Amino acid sequence: MPQDTKLERDAEQLKDITPHPLYTPANLEGWDYDADAGYPGEFPFTRGVQATMYRGRLWTMRQYAGMGDAEESNKRYKYLLSHGTTGLSVAFDLPTQIGMDSDHAMAAGEVGKVGVAIDSIEDMERLFVGINLERISTSMTINASAAILLALYIAVARRTGADTRKLSGTVQNDILKEYIARGTYIYPPRQALRIITDMFAYANEHVPEWNPISISGYHMREAGCTAVQEVAFTLANAIAYVDAALHAGLNVDKFAPRLSFFFNAHNNFLEEVAKFRAARRMWARIMQDRFHAGNPKSLMLRFHTQTAGSTLTAQQPENNIVRTALQAMAAALGGTQSLHTNGFDEALGLPTEEAARIALRTQQIVGHETGVANTIDPLAGSYYIESLTSEIERRAQLYIDKIEALGGTLRAIEQGYIQQEIQNAAYDFQQGVDRLENVVVGVNRFQTEGDKSVPVLRIDEALEDRQVERVRALRQRRDKSKWEAGLRAVEDAAHGDQNLMPHIIHAVESYCTVGEISDTLRRVFGEYRETVVI
C-alpha cells in the first residue's frame, strides 16, 4: 500500500461512498453469492449469526440507564423492566469509570452525573436489589475499571445465592478505543491489555455465559469517524485483543466465542445495514484465515447496537424520535443481537422516564409491528445493499492493511494515526454542515422560531453528599486487617503473573473500594499520559 499521507486521505478512504443512480447486476461484478453472502447462520455470516435470526427470538431490548446513586438507578431499572425491557444496561459516573471513589477531590461535582456512582460492594448490592441476576442479562459500560465492576457483580451474585455460572451479560472492557476516542483510561496500554486477558481467562472458566469484552466502534463513530472507519478500526482493535490473548497463552477457541462487539446505528439508513453485514463477513474471514479458529462460534461477530447520540439535536428534540426509530430499524435489518434506543431528550440531559419509555416503545414497535422479523435478512439480494456491503469491506480492509503496515493497532494509536483519521473525518463532516451540503433538520435547515422546551431530568445535588458519606462510613466500620490483606494480594498478583480476577473479587468482598483497588494497580502499572501528535 502507498505510504503517502495525502494519498491515504483521498476519496478512496475518507470521503463518503457515493452511490450510483441505479444498481444492477453489473455493480456486483466479482461478487459470489455463495461465498460472500451464503445463508444465515453459516460462514461467512453475512446474513446473520443465527439460522433463524428474529423468527426464533427478537434481539435483546436494552435501555442504557444509571443516574445519581444506586437507589435511584435501581428504581429506573425496575421501571424499565416493568415496561418490557429484556436486558439491563448500566451507565456509570465518571469517577467510577476512571477508578476514583466518590470522595476523591477530583470527583467533586461529577458524582452520579452521567451514570450511577459505585464505590463498594454495598453500592452494587443496592443497585440490583430485587433483581434476579440469574434471569436478567446485564451489560455494563465500563472500561478501565471493568475488572473491578465485574468482580463486584460476581460478589453480589454470590451473596444473593445466584449460580455465577449462569450469569449472563457483558462488560465493555474495550480500553483501546479509550485511547483513540473517549479518554477514560487509567493504565498504559500493555498493562491494560494484561488485565483484559486475565478477564478473558477467568470468565471462560468461571462465568462462561459472560462476554468479557464488547469491542466498540460506537465511541469512535460518536467522535466523528465514517462507517468504513468504524468497521476498520473496531476490527483492528479486535485483532489486537486476540493477539494479546494468544500471547498470554489462551486458546483462541476457548475465548473467541465470548467476544462481542458494539456498533453505532447512524443516520445513513442503507449504509448502516450494509456496514453490519460487512463487519460480520470480515470478522469471520479474519478469525478463519488469520487466527485459524476451528470453532464456528469463534467466527461469529455478535454485536450490541446503540442509536447515534451524536445525531440527536437540542433544536426540535421531538425530531430525535424519528431519527432513533430509523436507526433502530437499520440495526434490526443489519442483524443486531441487542439494541439500545436513545431518549429524544438526551441532547439536553439524562433521559426522563417518559423519554426512556418512548425509546423502549420504539424498539417494541420495530420488533412487533413492522414485519421486520417475519423473514430472515429482508434486504439480502438488493443490488445496492450487496454492492455497498462489498465496498465497505474493501475500504475497511485498506485501513486494516495500513494499520498493519504501521506495526499494528498499538503502534498506530501511539503514532496518532487512528485519532487523526477520525478527526479529519469529523472536520470534513462539519464543513459539510456549515456549507449546507449535509442537512441537519432543525439545525442548518428547516429551523423554527422558539423551539418548544421539554422537561429535563435534574440530578438531586444532595445525592453526591450522601454518596460521599456512605463511602467514608464504610471505611470506618470495615475490618482493617481484611481490606489491607485484600489490597496486598492484588498488588502482589499485579507484580507477578497470577490472574488478577480472583484477587480483585476477594478484595471487593473484603470491602475494598473501587478507588483503592484502582490506586493499588496504579502503583504497580503506572498511569497513561497521552502523547500529543502535532
What per-residue confidence (pLDDT) applies to 2?
44
Q: Which residues 6+ apart lie within 8 Å of 209 measured at CB?
A: 165, 166, 167, 168
Are 206 and 164 in contact by the 8 Å Cβ rule? The answer is yes
331 and 218 Cβ atoms separated by less than 8 Å: no
Could you give the residue range(s) of every CATH 3.20.20.240 domain in the chain? 5-434
H helix or E strand, kind and range, residue 167: none
**Using the 8-state DSSP alphabet, how is residue 98 labeled?**
T
Q: Cα(403)–Cα(180) distance, rounded to whole angstroms?
A: 13
Give the bridge partners for 62, in sequence order: 87, 340
Paired sense of beta strands 213-216 and 259-265, if any = parallel
Distance CA 110, CA 107 (A): 5
Q: Evaluate whether 199 touches 150 at the Cβ level (below 8 Å).
A: yes
CB–CB of 252/293 below 8 Å? yes
**From CA 394, how far away is CA 232, in angstroms rounded?**
10
Name the one residue in this structure whose C-alpha cell is 483519521: 421
Contact 13, 395 (CB under 8 A): yes
Count Cβ atoms below 10 Å from residue 179 Cβ, excluding itself: 22
- Per-residue pLDDT tens listing for the chain (534 residues): 444 454 454 445 546 788 999 999 999 989 999 999 999 999 999 999 999 999 999 999 998 888 889 999 999 999 999 999 989 999 999 999 999 999 999 999 999 999 999 999 999 999 999 999 999 999 999 999 999 999 999 999 999 999 999 999 999 999 999 999 999 999 999 999 999 999 999 999 999 999 999 999 999 999 999 999 999 999 999 999 999 999 999 999 999 999 999 999 999 999 999 999 999 999 999 999 999 999 999 999 999 999 999 999 999 999 999 999 999 999 999 999 999 999 999 999 989 999 999 999 999 999 999 999 999 999 999 999 999 999 999 999 999 999 999 999 999 999 999 999 999 999 999 999 999 999 999 999 999 987 778 888 888 889 999 999 999 999 999 999 999 999 999 999 999 999 999 999 999 999 999 999 999 999 999 999 887 655
Strands 87-91 and 137-141: parallel
What is the model's pTM? 0.95
Rounded to whole angstroms, the maximal C-alpha distance in the chain is 74
Q: Which residues pair with 64 in a beta bridge?
A: 89
- The string of DSSP letters for 37-50 reads I--TTSTT-TT-SS
Q: What is the CATH number of domain 5-434?
A: 3.20.20.240
Question: Which amino acid is present at 86?
Answer: T
Please calculate the CA angle 72-59-181 and round it to the nearest 5 degrees. 65
Strands 338-340 and 303-307 turn out to be parallel
Q: What is the pLDDT of residue 480?
A: 95
